[in-house]
Structure 1
Amino acid sequence: MDDRDLLISQYIDNELSLEEKAEFVKEINIDDAFCAETLSMLDSELLMAGMIPDAPPVPEIKPKRGRILTPASVMSFTALAASLLVAFKVFMFTPEAAQQPTDRYRFVIHVPEAQHVALAGSFSDWQSIDMRPVGNGYWQVSVPLEKGEYTYTYILDGKIKIADPASPAKQVDDFGGENSVITIGSDI
């Protein structure tokens, strides 16, 4: 994504300051090609806005096999679970925490050279969620997320992992790569 595409994307996603927006509008009024490119990307956004799908299926995580259950281990686990439940209800339960809203967050990336794009993050236990092509090289998926901070990455053609080029917040992962960071519902 070149600087102009990033600037257009930031303008569309309302990520620019008022001063930056004013400069952007001045620039597209001067440069007809830039104006045409901006209008094309806005058309793509309108197309994508009408195509937001239902939540993708949550990947199934299969339990590991091999452990033998004994009456003592079942009783120990039951006692631990009951203790934790009581402690949680007594010390942690508040009406606000019980009613934490879940909003849908739309992830969008522009990679026209990709044949398949997926999203993986802390919100999906790093399981891949397929993204849909929506035209002009854009891919999207809408995911329900509660308030909080999440890390994520895009997976191109099943093997290339990249951080979100439109997200300034990054974090180095345990494998020498880079993940993007997003905060949902911040009161800051």
Structure 2
Amino acid sequence: MEQFISMYIDDELSLHEKKLFVDQVATNKRYREEVLELLEQEKLLAGALMHDVPDLEMPTMKRANTWHSLGLGLAACVVLCFTFFAGSFFSPTADQPAGKSVAALQPAPVPHRFVIYQQGSAQVEITGSFTDWQKVALVPSGTNGYWEVTLPVVSGEHRYTFIVDGKRLVPDPTVDIQEADDFGAINSILVVEGKA
């Protein structure tokens, strides 16, 4: 019985159980007295806990020195301005002749030939970082099952894969460096050296 009283006090009963509990309290005098006694104890305990809690003093925040804050702000502005002007001064565009863009100073893409053997396939495509992951169709090279395409590739590290018949992903069998991507497919890694 005490378990139901405790559950009622702690609001752990469902609505149906609460209804049964109130019906029982109303019909059973001894049960009613016990509930009232325990509720009174709960009331005393709650009151005692509220009065025995010591007053806690909240720590006060020190006021920031206005001059100190102003100095920090000024120092941050100086660093930011220096970074901006130093970046403009030391950037590669500072020494370039007038009329040339930054893109003109970067190495030009070099043609790279991709070849794969897929006998009996109706379609082979390639997709990779050098095509912005857009599909590019390969063309049959003769009638013996080889497919090829030559694409411009800039220097750097590139990931790519072949798509056979529109659904099967095939890494380049001629490239030793491969890795799994986030989708479970295997990509080949092509490293193109920049020309000086």
TM-score by length of 1: 0.49
Larger Rg: 2
